[in-house]
Structure 1
Amino acid sequence: MSRKHSEHHEEHPDETWLVPYSDLLTLLLALFIVLFGMSKTDEKKVGELGKSFHSAFTVNLGGGGSGGASSMFPFSYMAPSMAPSENVPAAVTSDMPPNRPNAPPASATSNKAVPLTQAALRETVQLLQLKEAVERYIKLNGLVGELEARSTEDGVRLRIKDSALFPSGEAYLRPESQKLAADIAKLLAGLPQQIVVAGHTDNVPINTSLYPSNWELSGMRAINFMRFILSQEPSLKPENFSAIGYGEYRPLRPNTSEEGRAKNRRVEVWIIRTQKSTNY
């Protein structure tokens, strides 16, 4: 009679999970190596970009007069983000720069998010630093309400109250206003951008032998201010400057009150950016 042998088989744990687990570890290791390599590359690029910014984003404020301008224009800080545009009533014009030749219409670019080139980024930082320098100068010299600086999409705009520069109804600089104009020239020293000086008046009519209308008054104020700042700072290039008179036709406020008319009588200095972002 044959003897049946009962065979005993040991139960082994299921180890098939080790295969996908090892694959997962391999993928994680590969991902770590790739990320580590990318971080090293970005770190190097950021370091190089930072060095170029440090050497390139310096606005020369001491070129004009003797003794320099380091104490008058402290300038060892970086600027914050661009300030928002002003709230201007719908009845008056918006805060627009003077028209530039060959500039595309605003509707063609205003709604498009376009990348900044390195040159455009460099210029943006330079213009923001200029704005900060002007704001520091305003505070140090008690000129709040007389002079202001604002960043815009097209560059930086300085706005000067007319009474800070000219006698009423005249276009020559008052002697006591020449220091302010000379200091503005120092602030603009070394900038490569196009600079437009624009004169504005209120809507009160003028009719003199020199100024038959507000066109002539605003235009001569812009020209005289431009000529003076060019005479004060040798590094400023006349070919980068232009002057324009708008008369009463670009008001900031309604001309229905003395306060509104005072706001509208002004000289604006536009530093127009040269680098524009482009699509790739």
Structure 2
Amino acid sequence: MSKKYKSDHHDEHMDESWLIPYADLLTLLLAMFIVLYAMSSVDSKKFEDMSKAFNIAFNTGVGVLDNTTIMETGKQMDDADKRNRRPSDETNSRTKDREALMKQEQQELEELKKQLDKYIQTNGMTTQLDTKLNQSQLMITISDKALFASGSAAVKPEARNLAVAISDMFDKYPGYEIVVSGHTDNEPISNSEFKSNWDLSSSRAIRFMDILLSNKSLDPRLFSAIGYGEHRPVDSNNNALGRAKNRRVEVSIIRKFIDPENSSPIPATPKQ
């Protein structure tokens, strides 16, 4: 006789109803953290995108682990934020680099000025040479008497040492543009060698530059010579002292980095 065995025990199943509120809780926590992250850089576009992502997540009833909309939206917002910040970051970086280079340039020109001033003092040339550092250049002003005979563009033999010493100093600070300019007073030149003060001032600038460039370590592409004649005086031409100041050679070491707000304009012509 067959016996039937009836089990009094039903298969026991774990109650999984708790997973629903647990998943909701996880979704809310994730939403809260995304909101906190987004608040660090608030804009209306981000909130609009986030709102759409939340609507999709809550209205579809899909679990957060199966719906990547929020995560993708967050990534898109983060990428957009990086793109928006990049130009500003690059600008700030360029500004800092420029400031560092300007500071280095200032230190170099100050050191060069100190060396020139020391040379002038040591050689007793304070009445013949002068240096001035401003926002656009370091300028060396040399009296014509220290370099040339009257009406001549030939550099005096003893003045060649000065030009060589200056070129040796330039060798320690490469990369700067050097402008040599010649100036005269307003008295017309009266010899067969030069047709005008333009001619004389240009020739003097070139002859002095030739000696500077005898230093082969210097880059001639950075040098230029200009003659201004009597048209850029620094003093009156109505007396001998003023005319003597106007007869000069200027050697300008041009800054690479100029602050437009503080750069010095060309000085106005003094009253005659």
TM range (shorter): 0.5 to 0.7
- 1:53-106 per-residue CA deviation (whole Å, 9 max, x = no partner) reads xxxxxxxxxxxxxxxxxxxxxxxxxxxxxxxxxxxxxxxxxxxxxxxxxxxxxx
Provide the aligned C-alpha RMSD in A.
1.8
Find the aligned partners of 1:188 and 1:161 in 2 and give their Cα distance: 20
Which one of the candidate residues 151, 155, 172 is aligned to 1:169?
151
Instruction: Give the corresponding residue for 1:204.
Output: 187
Structure 1 residue 277: Cα displacement: 4.4
Alpha-carbon contact 1:167-1:174 (below 8 Å) kept: yes
Identity rate, percent:
44
Q: More relative contact order in 1 or in 2 (CA 8 Å, sep 6+)?
A: 1
Find the aligned partners of 1:214 and 1:278 in 2 and give their Cα distance: 33
**1:138 aligns to 2:89 (yes or no):** no
Find the aligned partners of 1:125 and 1:277 in 2 and give their Cα distance: 16
Alpha-carbon contact 1:120-1:277 (below 8 Å) kept: no
Alpha-carbon contact 1:200-1:246 (below 8 Å) kept: yes
**1:215 aligns to 2:198 (yes or no):** yes
**1:155 aligns to 2:120 (yes or no):** no
Instruction: Give the corresponding residue for 2:163.
Output: 181
Find the aligned partners of 2:136 and 2:152 in 1 and give their Cα distance: 30
Find the aligned partners of 1:153 and 1:278 in 2 and give their Cα distance: 9
Instruction: Give the corresponding residue for 1:251.
Output: 233
**1:195 aligns to 2:178 (yes or no):** yes
Instruction: Give the corresponding residue for 1:49.
Output: none
Q: TM-score, normalised by structure 1?
A: 0.56
Secondary structure of 2:207's partner? Answer: helix
Secondary structure of 1:252's partner? Answer: coil
Alpha-carbon contact 2:135-2:259 (below 8 Å) kept: no
Secondary structure of 1:204's partner? Answer: coil
How many matched pairs?
165
* Shift >2 Å, 4+ stretches: 207-210, 276-279
- 1:131-184 per-residue CA deviation (whole Å, 9 max, x = no partner) reads 111111111111101111110111200000001000100001111211111111
Q: List runs of 5+ in structure 1 lacking aligned partners.
A: 1-113
Alpha-carbon contact 2:138-2:253 (below 8 Å) kept: yes
Letter in 1 for 2:139: R
Structure 1 residue 274: Cα displacement: 0.7
Q: In the TM superposition, what are the counterparts of 1:20-169 in structure 2 within 5 Å?
A: 117-169=99-151
Alpha-carbon contact 1:194-1:271 (below 8 Å) kept: yes
Instruction: Give the corresponding residue for 1:261.
Output: 243
Structure 1 residue 256: Cα displacement: 0.7
Alpha-carbon contact 1:193-1:271 (below 8 Å) kept: yes
Alpha-carbon contact 1:117-1:278 (below 8 Å) kept: no
Which one of the candidate residues 255, 259, 270 is aligned to 1:273?
255
Letter in 2 for 1:261: R
Q: List runs of 5+ in structure 2 lacking aligned partners.
A: 1-94, 262-272
